[in-house]
Amino acid sequence: MIGAEGQNPTDQLTELVDSASLNGWDLLVVVIVVILTWVGSRTGRRTVMRLLTKTDAVPYEVAYTCSRAVGYFIVLLGVGIALSVLGAQIQPVLAAVILIAVVAYFALRGVADNFGASLILQMRKPLRVGDWVETDDRWGTVTDMNARSVVLRTSDGKVIHVPNAQLLSDPLVIQPVKGSVRSEIEVRTTDVSRLTAVATTAVTLAAAVDGVLAEPAPDLVWVASTPERTTGRIRVWHEAGANTKVGSNVVRVVSEGLAEAGLTVSLTSPPPAPPLSPAPSL
């Protein structure tokens, strides 16, 4: 039977393999390579599958695909070694493999970055499901961690998928599920001559708010001042996850108490972002 290009398949095989230089030892080496390739492929697949399934962030389908890819790679490597032992010219095969690897690298670079980042997050465990996290100016509770992203649920019900690679490259602020954390409420007053009374009254009122911890005790620090207005921060400690509730209670109780004391004060929780333009010079 003649091939598609008019050449006998036997002649094609003869051109591929240098049969004139083959001997029994070469055939024995090829057999050994084939056996080792088969064993290595099975062992590699099982090892990769076992390691990846131990990582909670890696789904079973991803682990299965990775294990199969490792198995195929070992098989291709064994075939290349066997062909080289037989005297075949494997340079075209190597060129094709390199080309495919380069294309796969650029096509899957983002996926590989996120997958590698997920493994690092699982090993180092900087955050866990339930933690309150801030990244890229977004706050949310961690609800899921997978091979591609960390899923956050914000306080207004939105769901944000943050790529794993971004969590490793950007600053990450983590508020743990348990423990005490601090919140700040901005205070602005035009009673610049009665700052001591404002501070004493505000701290006393904040300490009595439900949810505010006695230790560390609340305090007030002044952070800015002009001839017409002085700005400070009431700092209170509370249990993690109670930021909004405690902040709301502090604003309500302190504002009502200061009004009853005849002090002109406005409060904001959380403090507003700094202005884009600098404050006017004095």
| Domain of residue 219, CATH code | 3.30.70.100
Q: Which residue range(s) make up the domain with 252?
A: 180-268
Q: Is residue 98 part of a domain?
A: no
Whole-angstrom Cα Rg for the chain: 33
* pLDDT the model gives residue 73: 81
CA 86 to chain centroid, in Å, comes to 48
How far is CA 201 from each of CA 35, 173, 220, rounded to the nearest angstrom?
Answer: 83, 32, 10
Q: What is the DSSP letter of 233?
A: E
List average pLDDT for each run of 10 residues in the chain, which is 282 residues long. Answer: 50 53 72 88 87 68 77 81 72 69 66 72 78 78 82 84 82 76 91 90 93 92 90 91 86 92 87 56 43
Both 69 and 84 in one domain: the answer is yes
Both 171 and 184 in one domain: the answer is no
Contacts of 173 (CB under 8 A, 6+ apart): 133, 134, 135
Please identify, among 141, 175, 209, the residue that sits at the C-terminal boundary of a domain. 175
Q: Please list the residues that pair with 184 across neighbouring strands.
A: 235
* pLDDT the model gives residue 257: 93
Residue 44: CB atoms within 10 Å: 18
Residue 148 sits in a domain of what CATH number? 2.30.30.60
Q: Is residue 120 part of a domain?
A: no
Look at residues 238, 207, 234 and name the one whose alpha carbon lies nearest to residue 223.
234
Structural domains in the chain (count): 3
* pLDDT the model gives residue 218: 94
How far is CA 184 from each of CA 18, 100, 172, 224, rounded to the nearest angstrom?
Answer: 80, 55, 20, 15
Look at residues 239, 210, 208, 207 and name the one whose alpha carbon lies nearest to residue 220.
207
Q: Give every strand in the sheet of 173-175, ordered side by side.
A: 159-163, 149-153, 138-145, 132-135, 173-175
What would the two tokens of residue 31 be?
């057999």
What would the two tokens of residue 29 be?
């080496």
Reported pTM: 0.52
Please identify, among 152, 175, 198, the residue that sits at the C-terminal boundary of a domain. 175
User: Which phi and psi (to 5°) does residue 236 adopt?
Assistant: -125, 150
* pLDDT the model gives residue 14: 53
Distance CA 20, CA 244 (A): 83
Q: Is residue 114 part of a domain?
A: no
Strand, helix or coil for residue 190 = coil
Please identify, among 56, 89, 122, the residue that sits at the C-terminal boundary of a domain. 89
Both 30 and 68 in one domain: the answer is yes
Treating both helix axes as pointing N-terminal to C-terminal, what angle do 24-53 and 60-85 enclose, rounded to 10 degrees? 170
* pLDDT the model gives residue 108: 60
Max intra-chain CA distance, the chain: 107
